[in-house]
């Protein structure tokens, strides 16, 4: 029996009874899930609109086993053309684009209510037959349901889209990112190995000569979508603040000063300041971001959390004990990441720390396949939109060495369940 990254037994590839072994793995995994949910008194997974979406940590391994085994079993029972068609999924994006563009989730009653295809068609000004075709495709993906013929009601997924930030996330994906993905290969053919942030599928798709940042900043609608997308992702379980608070030894820093680079309105620094009273924080971001960032700062943190306008590519003016970057460097190619790191050097003193909380790409087979698929999809998305990359541990080591050999990688930790790893770097002056 083979093992996945979580040491959960999976059937050996190539067996003549592979489908039987996969079915047994699914049964065993489901039994483990049942035990966890029953022992904790939790409701079992459901498509119901009010079903909870969080998964207990104790069920992660069993979930990985079931998802990978069931996906392999599904794929084994398809012919090659059907398999590739299913994986292509471009038709799925069409109906998702319709759902978000016409704001259909907000038109469907919650709490078990329903609305007819005909009424939706009238509200959005689209022919009823096309509404029916688009939504029935979405229903096959568990987005909405048809409780009786001709009527639409919510599932867990569609109701999630009634949240403003989640709706922005889907709108950004279908209106901004999907067209960019279609142009990735064209960008590669046009610009080759360029590391410039405007040499992207995004630039080609949206007929712009600027980067995604330039393009989004020029449109209030797109800026709102982009901001909502970041909020939606940051508030998801994979990016929970507990991974920052609980999985690094902040207490050992004593009375340290921390610079939070690209810290936006300071939600990470504020959470850390509340938990660790010996720490002080300087939150740095663009001037328009930090201008009013301190307005809602709790009064008892006024002397320990401050805000400062700063350009990541300019020399760092603040001397501190720790420089923290959350989800910053994965937006930039190696060329620009090196510039960001080099800009820190004038302020660095021997032994100070640079903490990078970011993606650390797994090696093939290192994690459950469904998670690796998500990670690799994210990597392609970064290429399409930013001309950036999701880095492996070896990539991080190489980047640090190229920026300055005095950046010494101390440790990379990847908390179970977290999308981001903590990359702990120490500055060696001599």
CATH of 93-160, one of 2.60.40.680, 1.10.10.410, 1.10.10.60, 1.10.10.10: 1.10.10.10
Mean pLDDT, range 301-319, rounded to an integer: 95
Give all strands of the β-sheet with 353-358 in edge-to-edge order: 305-309, 280-285, 257-261, 322-326, 353-358, 421-427, 407-413
Q: Kindly report the average pLDDT of the chain as a whole number.
A: 92
Residue 279 has pLDDT above 70, yes or no: yes
**Closest C-alpha to 293, from 265, 262, 261, 269:** 265
CB 18 within 8 A of CB 4: no
Distance of alpha carbon 217 from alpha carbon 396, whole angstroms? 30
Output the CA angle 348-350-354, nearest 5 degrees.
55
**Closest C-alpha to 293, from 274, 268, 319:** 268
What is residue 328's predicted lDDT score, i.e. its pLDDT? 94
Residue 70 has pLDDT above 60, yes or no: yes
Residue 234 has pLDDT above 80, yes or no: no
Alpha helices in 249-323 (DSSP H): 267-275, 287-290
Band (3; pLDDT cuts 50, 70, 90) = very low
Residue 309 phi, psi dihedral angles, 5° rounding: -75, 130
What is residue 137's predicted lDDT score, i.e. its pLDDT? 96
Please give the share of the chain, as a percent, with pLDDT higher than 90. Answer: 79
Residue 154 catalytic?
no
Band (274; pLDDT cuts 50, 70, 90) = very high
pTM score: 0.87
> Got the DSSP string for 294-306?
GGG--GGGTTTEE
Dihedral angle computed from the Cα positions of residues 345, 348, 352 and 353, in that order, rounded to the nearest 10 degrees: -30
Distance of alpha carbon 303 from alpha carbon 268, whole angstroms? 16
pLDDT digit string, tens, across residues 84-105: 888 887 889 999 999 999 999 9
Catalytic residue among 168, 199, 206, 330: 330
Distance of alpha carbon 50 from alpha carbon 313, whole angstroms? 45
Residues 6+ apart with CB under 8 A from 63: 29, 33, 55
Residue 13 has pLDDT above 70, yes or no: no
Per-residue CA distances from 32 to 24, 46, 58, 68 (Å)? 12, 17, 10, 15
Band (281; pLDDT cuts 50, 70, 90) = very high
pLDDT digit string, tens, across residues 123-170: 999 999 999 999 999 999 999 999 999 999 999 999 999 999 999 999
CATH of 237-427, one of 3.40.50.150, 3.40.50.2000, 3.90.260.10, 3.40.309.10: 3.40.50.150
Mean pLDDT, range 236-255, rounded to an integer: 91
> Got the DSSP string for 165-191?
HHHHHHHHIIIIIHHHHHTHHHHHHHH
Listed by start position, the domains of the chain span 2-83, 93-160, 165-229, 237-427
- Count how many Cα atoms sit within 13 Å of the Cα of residue 383 in the half-sphere of its side chain: 20
Per-residue CA distances from 374 to 80, 139, 216, 380, 388 (Å)? 22, 22, 25, 10, 16
Residue 8 has pLDDT above 80, yes or no: no
CB 114 within 8 A of CB 153: yes
CB 104 within 8 A of CB 154: no
Mean pLDDT, range 61-80, rounded to an integer: 95
The one-character DSSP state at 145 is B
**Closest C-alpha to 43, from 30, 32, 31, 56:** 56
Distance of alpha carbon 213 from alpha carbon 337, whole angstroms? 16
Residues 6+ apart with CB under 8 A from 54: 237
Mean pLDDT, range 309-319, rounded to an integer: 96
Handedness of CA 199, 197, 234, 168 (dihedral sign): negative
3-state secondary structure of 357: strand
3-state secondary structure of 206: coil
What is residue 89's predicted lDDT score, i.e. its pLDDT? 79
The one-character DSSP state at 44 is P
Band (2; pLDDT cuts 50, 70, 90) = very low
Residue corresponding to tokens 């509200």: 123
Residue of higher predicted confidence among 50 and 354: 354
- 308 forms bridges with which residues in the sheet? 284
What is residue 92's predicted lDDT score, i.e. its pLDDT? 92
- 107 forms bridges with which residues in the sheet? none
Residue 219 has pLDDT above 90, yes or no: no
Residue 11 has pLDDT above 70, yes or no: no
Residue 1 has pLDDT above 80, yes or no: no
CB 340 within 8 A of CB 312: yes
Residue 72 has pLDDT above 70, yes or no: yes
Residues 6+ apart with CB under 8 A from 168: 224, 225, 226, 227, 228, 229, 231, 232
Residue 84 phi, psi dihedral angles, 5° rounding: -65, -35
């Amino acid at each position: 029996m083979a093992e996945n990254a979580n040491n959960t037994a999976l059937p050996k590839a190539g067996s003549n009874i592979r489908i039987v072994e996969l079915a047994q793995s699914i049964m065993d995994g489901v039994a483990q899930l049942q035990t966890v949910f029953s022992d904790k008194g939790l409701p079992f997974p459901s498509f119901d609109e009010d079903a909870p979406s969080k998964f207990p940590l104790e069920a992660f391994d069993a979930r990985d086993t079931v998802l990978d085994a069931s996906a392999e079993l599904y794929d084994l029972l398809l012919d090659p053309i059907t398999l590739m068609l299913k994986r292509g999924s471009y038709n799925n994006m069409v109906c998702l684009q319709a759902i978000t563009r016409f704001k259909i989730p907000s038109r469907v009653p919650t709490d078990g209510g329903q609305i007819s295809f005909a009424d939706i068609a009238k509200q959005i000004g689209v022919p009823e037959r096309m509404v029916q075709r688009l939504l029935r495709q979405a229903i096959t993906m568990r987005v909405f349901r048809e409780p009786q013929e001709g009527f639409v009601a919510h599932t867990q997924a569609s109701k999630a889209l009634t949240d403003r930030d989640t709706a922005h996330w889907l709108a950004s994906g279908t209106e901004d990112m999907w067209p960019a993905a279609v142009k990735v290969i064209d960008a590669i053919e046009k610009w080759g190995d360029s590391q410039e942030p405007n040499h992207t599928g995004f630039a080609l798709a949206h007929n712009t000569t600027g980067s995604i940042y330039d393009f989004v900043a020029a449109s209030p609608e797109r800026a709102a979508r982009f901001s909502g997308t970041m909020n939606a992702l940051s508030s998801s379980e994979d990016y929970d603040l507990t991974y920052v608070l609980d999985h690094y030894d902040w207490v050992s820093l004593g009375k340290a000063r921390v610079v939070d680079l690209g810290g936006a309105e300071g939600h990470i620094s504020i959470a850390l300041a509340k938990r660790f009273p010996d720490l002080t924080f300087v939150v740095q971001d663009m001037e328009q971001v930090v201008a009013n960032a301190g307005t809602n700062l709790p009064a008892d943190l006024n002397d320990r959390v401050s805000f400062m306008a700063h350009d990541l590519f300019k020399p760092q003016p603040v001397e501190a004990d720790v420089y923290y970057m959350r989800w910053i460097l994965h937006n930039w190619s190696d060329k620009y990441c090196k510039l960001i790191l080099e800009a820190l050097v004038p302020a660095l003193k021997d032994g100070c720390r640079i903490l990078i909380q970011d993606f650390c790409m797994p090696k093939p087979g290192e994690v459950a396949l469904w998670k690796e698929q998500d990670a690799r999809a994210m990597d392609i998305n970064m290429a399409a939109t930013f001309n950036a990359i999701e880095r492996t541990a070896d990539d991080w080591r190489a980047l640090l060495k190229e920026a300055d050999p005095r950046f010494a990688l101390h440790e990379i930790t990847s908390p179970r369940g977290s999308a981001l790893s903590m990359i702990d770097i120490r500055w060696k002056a001599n």
